[in-house]
Structure 1
């Protein structure tokens, strides 16, 4: 059934991507300009561009045989590296309706149908974030929207942390679920804010590389979450993962706050 769904959905995804590409003329024009520029460039121009790249990137040119390393160097040289790391840190968490938290909730006695309902509510809250983001962004800047969003998520997750010290499995489970559901609003608004900030600051030539590294970093931290689930496999010890996840959100909020206030140019934009 899962394979069948993927076979059906891939065509829908392809149709939507093609609709976006053909519906925005600037995307087509950019691609055409890039192709024309590549055709017009001769060997001398390529050599000159290569020399300029060596002067700009230094060590990067020496590592040209290692595109994986080059990609991380390009990413680390971007101004948005701290917001990117902040966003990626949020993927190292069990405070979502994934398999680890679902298994723990069932162990605490929450019926599966009730978990499914709450998960649906959580998804609706996430959709609400996509509606509220442009409204909030129209009144304040991208940076301030991200700042308020990440700390709003942090505040909501305090309920999850408090559930660690609450006796009674059902009460603790409800606090855990409510905290996670409420935090989705700040989480997805922060995600949108960072993504837009990347679009604004990353040059077009580096955008694919930066986006690829960002996705890799997020996937790596998400994989580490499941690794921690293997290490801390007893549902009775799930509270340890809750605390660790909250600390990662705290780290993300602190890094993003430091990024904003470290320079006067950022302060003037919030």
Structure 2
């Protein structure tokens, strides 16, 4: 069933699926269409469940907070596990299982919440006494199913958005940057448009109808999602090629998993973090995770603060829409920047722009609010300030509308830098991480981002007074500054390593030449006809001598020379 296309068609497609070819564009379109359908289902249901909870209990944010913590906790716990699974599994079956997991759980969450909102168990929000246990059981089950669907969504992101573009594009950096930008644009469009559709359904139909429509959509979209993905995998010789995972180790792992599933899951979780921490791109990844530990976004905490400062719902919605557009702007300019200045400099430019934009908006708010929170500053300002309209406004420290609009404008502008940095780091990971470890690294990265986002929510729980929001903004600005510092350290280490490598090339040229001569001598000694075993022995000795070279760049050159000698000897 796996190789459903004919052998002639498979060969012809495999020969012409290079970047820029017609079949490459069709494969690209098929992957993105499948990803769009899946992302729309997940984003739509996630936002709708939150709206339903707010509609049921408008005076409490407890259920919404529990839902957010559950969603992030699932990703923190199982992100590395799902990434390791995708590294071990074949590409098509692994991605297919993630699609099934996401869409099945979305349908289950929609069905459960539809029963809750239908009125069968009593008035929504106030069930009858005899049905109260069933009511809360369905509510809890729906929240758990919707949160668990994030694992399937994370798997889809890793398999389709991270791994497959790298396999398709290979070393073509320009094509890879274009695919990364397109996938990010799809995600941002779904993040913006699917909540709008959900809100329209809830407004013009009913909350129960909105949840039911999205649940049924998740079920119906499963078939075209898999068909598009399956066609792409079969049409590309690179995607349909068997995984390079050691089959014997995979079978041993499967036997051990059946005997002790929990133990193997914990081992997989631990090993995934070990692999993640051993990467050269560790600092850029940690910096990207820190950017999620901030309230300087367009989330619920910032929205509540803006409304407390006096902005209307319509104005806040307008800024959120413009923020989505500035994010899409990053997807348009990233391919050109990556081509002209490289991914490393693009990442530095993106995170520097984000820090600068946030500083322009946050510093005036901090100076304004701290003057009323710190007594010494407040006393000095009291003597000279005449801009406040009333004593109540002055005592509360509420920023003026002009300062508030400057704050939200800076946050909106900073989204371009955020997504530029995100896409630059994504491509750095794709370029520098081994293919068999890419899923693991991306899975752990998703866990770190979810954990940092959870910490920002918890900070909002402990500092729930809007007049104390300035402390969260100050902490967020410090976190972004720390992320910038980590990336600057990464760049300095990269430049220092390049300088040392260049010096090493000059100082070790004689040893490399001697090494090449020794390797050629070994191969010439064992190159007589009918002596394959001795050639294998020579290959092993060449590899051992190659691994003894300490400098990484000469090592790469030696390996290339040795391989050329081996190919000549075999021929």
TM-score normalised over the length of structure 1: 0.82
Q: Aligned runs of 1:100-119 on 2, under 5 Å? A: 100-119=301-320
Q: In the alignment, is residue 129 of structure 1 matched against residue 330 of structure 2?
A: yes
Q: Is the 8 Å Cα contact of residues 294 and 479 (structure 2) preserved in structure 1?
A: yes
Aligned to 2:405: 174
- Displacement of 1:262 in angstroms is 1.2
For residues 96-128 of structure 1, give each alpha carbon's deviation from its aligned partner in whole angstroms, at most 9, with x where no partner exists.
110000001011110001100110000000001
Residues 248 and 11 of structure 1: CA distance in aligned 2, closer, same or farther (over 3 Å): farther
The CA deviation at 1:19 is 3.6
Q: In structure 1, which of residues 176, 195, 203 is the aligned counterpart of residue 426 of structure 2?
A: 195
Matched ranges for 1:1-270 at <5 A = 1-2=210-211, 4-5=213-214, 7-8=216-217, 15=224, 19=228, 22-23=231-232, 29-34=238-243, 41=247, 46=249, 66-162=267-363, 163-166=365-368, 168-264=399-495
Aligned-residue offset at 1:169: 3.1
Runs of 4+ in 1 over 4 A off after TM superposition: 9-18, 24-28, 265-268
**Post-superposition shift, 1:9?**
5.6
CA separation of 1:17 and 1:226: change in aligned 2, threshold 3 A: farther
C-alpha separation in 2, matches of 1:25 and 1:139: 34
**In 1, distance between residues paired with 2:282 and 2:223?**
30
Structure 2 residues without counterparts, runs of 5 or longer: 1-209, 254-263, 369-397, 500-571
CA contact (8 A) 2:276 2:441 kept: yes
Higher RCO (CA 8 Å, separation ≥ 6 residues): 1
State the shift of 1:5 in Å: 3.0
Structure 1, unaligned runs of 5 or more? 51-62
Using a 3 Å threshold, how does the CA distance of structure 1 residues 230 and 209 change in structure 2: closer, same or farther? same
The whole-number CA distance in structure 2 between the counterparts of 1:13 and 1:250 is 42
Structure 2: distance between partners of 1:156 and 1:127? 17
Q: 1:33 to 1:262 in 2, by over 3 A?
A: same
Alignment length, in residue pairs?
Answer: 250
**2:234, 2:240 within 8 Å by CA — same for their partners in 1?**
no
What RMSD in Å do the two structures reach over aligned CA positions?
Answer: 2.9
- 2: CA distance between counterparts of 1:266 and 1:14? 49
User: How far is 1:29 from its partner?
Assistant: 3.3
| TM-aligned CA deviation for residue 227 of structure 1 | 0.1
Aligned residues of 2:294 and 2:453 also touching (Cα < 8 A):
yes
1:77-113 deviation line (CA, Å, top 9, x unaligned): 0111111001000000000110000001011110001
- 1:150, 1:186 within 8 Å by CA — same for their partners in 2? yes
Shift of 1:65: 5.5
Q: Tell me how far apart the structure 2 counterparts of residues 266 and 6 of structure 1 sit (CA, whole Å).
A: 52
| TM-score under structure 2 length normalisation | 0.41
3-state SS of 1:248 partner: helix
Shift of 1:147: 0.5
Q: Check whether the contact 2:233–2:240 (CA below 8 A) recurs between aligned residues.
A: no
Q: Shift in Å at residue 136 of structure 1?
A: 1.2
* Cα deviation, residue 168, structure 1: 3.5
